Chains A and B, each alone.
Chain A
Amino acid sequence: MSTGSIPRLHLISDSRLCDLNRFVEIASQAVEAGVDAVHLREKALPAGELLHVAGTLREHLGDLAWIIINDRVDVAMIARVDGVELGETGLPVAEVRRLAGATLAIGRAVHDVGGAIAAVRDGADFVISGHVYDTASKPGQAPRGPEFIAEIVANCSLPVIAIGGITPERVPEVLQAGAHGVAVLSGILAADDPARAAREYAQALCGG
C-alpha cells in the first residue's frame, strides 16, 4: 500500500455530536465536498448494528471514500470496508495483520513516539496522532501542538493523520509539521453547514 493511497481528509463519527442517521447524511455530503475517508467510531454499538450501519454507509458513499471501522476487526472483515482504526488498547496490530492480511488498511492511534515506532514495527499502514489543539472531544487534556506531529513524523515512516481541534485555518500548520492529512469530528459534524466546512478542509489540504 503506497503512502499516496492513504486518504487525507478523515471524518469520524461521534454519537455525542450526532446520531448515526444524521451522520450518514453528513458523511454523504462531506464526501461530495472532498472527504475521502469516513470512520465509524461507535464503541457502544452492538456488532450486528455496526455491520448494518457500515452497509448503509457504503450504499450512500459508493466507492467515493474509504470506510474505516474503529476497533471491531471482525465487523470490518465482514463488511468488506477499507480499513480499521485500532486504539492503543485495542487488538494488537500484528494480530490484525495476521487475521485480515492485506484486505484491510490498518490505522493505529498513537499518543507518543513509542506508539509510532511500534506501529511501524507491527505493520500498520498509517497512524492517527493527537490531539494537536484544544478540543471538546478531550476536555481537560492539554493539547500537544503541531510540534508533537513533527516529532511523530520524525520517528515514523508511515503517513501521519493529525487529529484534535483542527480547523481549516490550522491545516497549513499541521501540514508544515509533516502530517499527511487530518481527521475531523466537530469541525464538520457540529458545523452549521457541514458540506461547506468539508469543502474548506479539502481546499486547505490542497494548499488553499
Chain B
Amino acid sequence: MAAHSAFKGDRLRESLAVYVLTDRGLARGRAEQEVVRAAIDGGATAIQLRWKTGSLRDAVSVGRDLREMCRVADVMFVVNDRVDLALALDADAVHLGDEDLPIREARQIVGESIIIGYSPATLVDALQAPRLGADYLGVGPVYGTSTKSDAGEAVGVRRIEEVCAAISIPVVGIGGINADNAADVIRNGAAGVAVISSVVAADDVRAATMRLKHAVEAARKRPE
C-alpha cells in the first residue's frame, strides 16, 4: 500500500471545490473520456467515476483513461461505491453511500492510501461519519434533483450549514447545484459543490464547468 494519500488535509478541501460526477445516461451520447476531458479543461478539481450500467470490464477500461487524465492534470480521481474498482484503478478516493460498504470496513482494505467520501442519509449519520473514518462528506440533495432517483427530498443549504458547524472534515454539497445557486452552498460552509447534470448534460461541458468554478471562487472570496 502507498503512504498517505496526496490529497489529504488542505489539499482535500481545495480538491473538492468543483467536483464532477460522470453519468452515461445524461451525457447525450458522449463518452466519459470526452466529458471528463472538457470538465478538467474547464477547471474541475475532482472527477468521480459513477458506473450504474454496463460491465465492470468496461468500467476498468474507461476508468484507466480517466485515472490518467486526472493524474496529468493533478485532479482528484474518485470511484463510486466499488472499493475493489477504486483499488484496481489506483484511485485517490472512493465514495460510499448509505447502502454501500460501511466506512470502517472499507478502511480495513484501503488503509490510509485512499480518501473515503461518504454520503450520509441522515444528520445523525453525518455527525458520526468522521469518527468512523470518513475524510469528507457529500451532503444533499441541497436542491431538488431528478438525476438520482433515490436521493430523497431536498435538505436545503440549512443542512450544509448544520453539518459544517458540527464537524471538521470538509463537506461538499450535491443535488441540483448549478452556477446560479452554487455560491449559496459555499457561503453556508461547503468546501465545494458536486454536480452531475449541470455539467455532464450541458451543450458545452467546458464552459459549464468554468461558470461553476467562477461562482465557487467568487463565493469563497466574498463570504457574505
Contacts and interface: CB of A to CB of B under 8 A. Distances in A.
A128 interface: no
Interface string A79-107: 00000000011111001101100000000
Interface residues of B, number: 21
Contacts of B102: 48, 51
Nearest to B57: A89
Contact of A74 (B60, B99, B109): B109
B55 A77 contact: no
A95 B60 contact: yes
Given A78-B105, A78-B108, A99-B87, A48 B99 contact: yes
Contacts of B101: 47-48, 51, 74-75, 78
Given A78-B101, A78-B106, A78-B108, A91 B60 contact: yes
A44 B15 CA distance: 32
Contacts of A71: 56
Contacts, number: 60
A46 interface: yes
B60 A92 contact: yes
B99 A47 contact: yes
Interface string B98-113: 1111100110110000
B199 interface: no
Interface in A98-126: 98-99
B84 interface: yes
A72 B82 CA distance: 8
A74 B57 contact: no
Interface core residue of A71, A74, A98 (most chain B CB under 10 Å): A74
A99 B88 contact: yes
Given A74-B82, A74-B87, A96-B84, 11 more contacts: A48-B98, A51-B101, A73-B84, A74-B84, A74-B106, A74-B109, A89-B55, A91-B56, A91-B88, A92-B60, A95-B60
Query: Lowest 10 CB-CB distances: which A-B pairs, in order?
Result: A89-B55, A46-B99, A74-B83, A73-B84, A74-B84, A95-B88, A89-B57, A78-B105, A47-B101, A47-B100
